Amino acid sequence: MIQTDIDSILDKHPNAGRDALIPILQEIQEAHGYLSKDAVLRVGQRLNLPASKIYGVATFYNQFRFQPVGKFHIQVCRGTACHVKGSAAVLEALKRELKIDAGQTSRDGLFSLEVVACIGACGLAPVICVDGEFHAKLAADDVKGVLDEYRGKANNSDAA
């Protein structure tokens, strides 16, 4: 299944050269949530690049992940404005509540946690972003409420 997905993404870039590598990896991650070993090998075959080079590029950039993400992907902004307004405490609360470290996925597969440099919503600091939805001006105490909101959503969708 996954193999054909990757091929269809690669087919969108006929005669792709080296400069198409990052866009291709981005599209694959967009579709699968992460870069699997198979995907990297397959891209290498098509672009005529060794897998080591592709890993070299992919590990250089913060965007690429090599593990599947949770159902809800949490991005915690650690920009300057967020830091000054206490994003460290928010991150700690998230880690404690989810019992995971940044870059990991929770046991139940619901949440994954990622630290990002700056989301660009500095006026609303501190900010976290869950699947593209922003939660602004958070305090450590609010974290549980936000997570419960998504846990509720997950339960609803399971029931339906």
Site membership for another protein, residue 125 (CB under 8 A)? yes
Site membership for another protein, residue 124 (CB under 8 A)? yes
Site membership for another protein, residue 14 (CB under 8 A)? no
Site membership for another protein, residue 121 (CB under 8 A)? yes
Q: If binding means CB under 8 A, how many residues of this protein chain bind another protein?
A: 43
Nearer to another protein, 6 or 54 (CB): 54
Site membership for another protein, residue 136 (CB under 8 A)? yes
Taking the C-alpha atoms of residue 66 and residue 33, their distance in angstroms, rounded to an integer, is 9
Nearer to another protein, 1 or 123 (CB): 123
Site membership for another protein, residue 65 (CB under 8 A)? no
Q: Which amino acid is at 129?
A: C
Binding residues among 75-104 for another protein as defined by CB under 8 A: 78-85, 93, 96
Q: State in angstroms the smallest separation of the CB of 1 from another protein.
A: 26
Q: Which residues pair with 135 in a beta bridge?
A: 128
Residues that bind another protein (CB under 8 A): 17-23, 25-26, 56-57, 60-64, 78-85, 93, 96, 116-125, 127, 132, 134-136, 140-141
